[in-house]
Amino acid sequence: MNSENKHLYTHTVQYYETDRMQVTHHSNYIRWMEEARVAFLHDIGWDYEKLEEKGVFSPVIRVDVSYKNSTTFADVVEVYTWVKEFRGVKLVIGYEMKKQDGTLVCEAVSEHCFLNSEGKPVRVNREMPEFYEALQP
């Protein structure tokens, strides 16, 4: 996928995100994925507040992360986010994280479903066509 189709979110590594070896703890990359996903949805006009007002929730059902290089305190990490796949039920988002010098630090995907307030699946393509169209790759 070319860079025009990817959403950019920038994160600066905080001191508290590092361990005693001054390396970013692996769990933080998943947090940055969520930050980037929230920013992406906001930027396409479908932030979590809007979804929840409509009674729709989107839990994470799978995360797959491949760590390539480490980051340390004060590194600026560019998190690129894009929709890898979405057919109306399961949303798959891709992530690529790089330091500003272009060093790849992480590649990942997260999968999400959509549920109504009763916990039943929402077929977004049928029940929320505007949101469905906004998520098309």
Task: Show the DSSP H helices in 65-109 as ranges.
Answer: none
Placement of tokens 């916990």 in the chain: 119
Q: How many Cα atoms occupy the beta-carbon half-sphere of 104 within 13 Å?
A: 9
Placement of tokens 């760590």 in the chain: 67
Sign for the CA dihedral angle at 22, 26, 31, 32 comes to positive
Among 19, 43, 64, 75, the active-site one is 19
Cβ atoms of 114 and 57 closer than 8 Å: yes
- Residue 19 is among the residues annotated as catalytic for this protein: yes
Which amino acids are annotated catalytic? 19
